Every structure is written in C-alpha cells, then in structure tokens.
Amino acid sequence: MESAATPLEQIRQRIAQAAKIAGRRSADVALVAISKTHPAEAIRPLIAQGQRIFGENRVQEAAAKWAALREECPDIALHLVGQLQSNKADEAVRLFDSIQSLDRASLVTALARAMDRTGRQVECFVQVNIGAEPQKGGCAIAELPQLLDAARGAGIPLAGLMCVPPLDIEPAPFFALLDKLAADHGMAGRSMGMSNDFETAIMLGATHVRIGSALFGQRAG
Ligand SMILES: *Cc1c(COP(=O)(O)O)cnc(C)c1O
C-alpha cells in the first residue's frame, strides 16, 4: 500500500493544480511555510521533504528556534510576516532574508539604517492594509505611493506587496486589488493567500503564498 501524502505534498499538489488552472507555472509561486508557534520538531520533517522557505511573526521566537535549524540546514530562507518594531530592525535584518511587513515611513528609516549597519541587504514587501481595517497592520492604500518612494529613496530592495484580507468575507476582490496595485507600481511580488484561500490568491497572481495551519495543524494560541 502506498503511504498517504504528507500535508506538504498535498499543499504542493494544490499549488500546482491552481497554477495550472490559472495558466501559470507552479515554479512562479513560492510556498512560505508559516511555522510560528510550532517547535523545531514540527519543522524538521518539512525541511527533510525539501521545504526551504519559512515564515515567522516574532523576532525573538524566530531567533531562538532557527539558530539550530539553520546549522542543520544552511540554505533556509526565513521571512518575517509579523509587525516589526523599529527598535528590532537590526536584529530582524540579521535574522531574516525577507521582511514582509514594511508598512510605515519610520520603519523605512529604521530598516535602511539597519541594512547600513549590518551590511546586509534584505528584500522587503510593503504590507498594504487592503481592507482598510483599523486594527490591522499595513499602510493605507492612499499612502502606498509615498511609502514606496521613501523605500526606494532609502535604497531598500523591494520585492513586492503583501496583504492579509479581512476575515470571513470573500478575499478575491482584495487579492485582485493587491495585484493591480503591484502592477501599477511596477512590482513583481504579490504575497497573498493563506491556508484557507491560497488557491484563489494564485488565480489572481500570488507569487508567494503563506501557509501555516494547513501544513502544521492548528496553532494553540
Ligand atoms: C499566521 C499567518 C499566516 C498563516 O496563516 P494560516 O491561516 O495558518 O495559513 C499567513 N500570513 C500571516 C501574516 C500570518 O500571520
């Protein structure tokens, strides 16, 4: 009997299928495995199956967990997908290979300084508050042009735009809007789509899908 597909294999298949339907290449959709709250023992099996891009939302937690994992597997790319305080910019630039939560001018300044100090150039996604939700991170759509100008002016390497659409309503219009904003601003990357909606995001142009619970199971917190 064949053993059942692992969660990672299932997600890879679903990404490939969605890309195919969209007339895209699955190689153009990067899977970012969101390992926040999950211990190293839960992460190792994914690394063993070839997964190399992971996402965390807390600088401290990521630093503690990934020191050992990175020694075991040096070619990991770590993405920050959570709000970043300016006073942690240095640590974030040392630790992460991509920062997906650049959302304000003060953080542009802090990250540019951190990249200067550390000599590391870390690509950033500008996070857009795509549903204009007051409690959510991300820059307002109206402020996006200015923020992009500031980031470009400060020499920050920009990978694209990122969003987390509002919960519990159809995400497609928000994904379509992020895709349009990225196109308008000449940006290649669109980080959008999570466990519950990544196929829709791929149809609408996602280049990075951020998947946690569908790979690792539900988070405790
Ligand atoms: C936790 C998180 C995810 C993953 O969410 P799932 O629904 O578990 O796939 C993706 N993006 C961000 C920004 C997150 O904080």
Give 120 Cα–ligand 1 centroid separation in angstroms. 26
The SS3 assignment for 38 reads coil
Residue 158 near residue 104, CB atoms below 8 Å: no
Structural tokens at position 163: 């969003």
At 176-199, the pLDDT tens digits run 999 999 999 999 999 999 999 999
CATH superfamily of the 7-216 domain: Alanine racemase (3.20.20.10)
Ligand 1: residue of 53, 81, 210 to mutate (most ligand atoms within 8 A of CB) is 210
Residue 140 CA to ligand 1 center (angstroms) comes to 20
Atom index in ligand 1 nearest the CA of residue 101 equals 13
Residue 34 CA: nearest ligand 1 atom is 4
Q: Looking at residues 116-144, what average pLDDT do you find?
A: 97
Written as six digits, the tokens of 217 are 């199971």
pLDDT at 61: 97
Indicate if the pLDDT at residue 3 is higher than 80.
no
| Residue 84 near residue 101 (C-beta atoms within 8 A) | yes
From ligand 1's centre to the CA of 117, what distance in Å?
A: 30
Burial of residue 118, with CB atoms counted within 10 A of its CB: 0-12 exposed, 13-18 middle, 19 or more buried: middle
* Ligand 1 centre distance from Cα of residue 211 (Å): 6
Q: Give ligand 1 pocket residues (Cβ under 6 A).
A: 34, 36, 57, 81-82, 164, 194-196, 210-214
- Token duo for residue 166: 């509002």
The position carrying tokens 């000449």 is 186
153 alpha carbon to ligand 1 midpoint, in Å? 30
pLDDT at 1 over 60: no
Q: What is the DSSP string of 115-182?
A: HHHH----EEEEEE-TT--TTS-SB-GGGHHHHHHHHHHTTPPEEEEEE-PPTTS--HHHHHHHHHHH
Distance CA 56, CA 61 (A): 8
As a whole number, the mean pLDDT across the chain is 97
Q: What pLDDT, on a 0 to 100 scale, did the predictor assign at position 220?
A: 72
Where along the chain do its domains lie? Answer: 7-216
Res. 2 pLDDT band, cuts 50 70 90: low
Q: Which of 81, 83, 130 to probe ligand 1 with, by most ligand atoms within 8 A of CB?
A: 81
Asked if residues 79 and 97 have their Cβ atoms less than 8 Å apart, the reply is yes
Cα-to-centroid distance, 187 and ligand 1 (Å): 22
Ligand 1 closest atom vs CA 162: 13
Residues, the chain, total? 221
CA of 186 to the centre of ligand 1 (A): 26
Average pLDDT rounded to a whole number, residues 69-93: 97
Q: Which residue's CA lies nearest to atom 7 of ligand 1?
A: 195
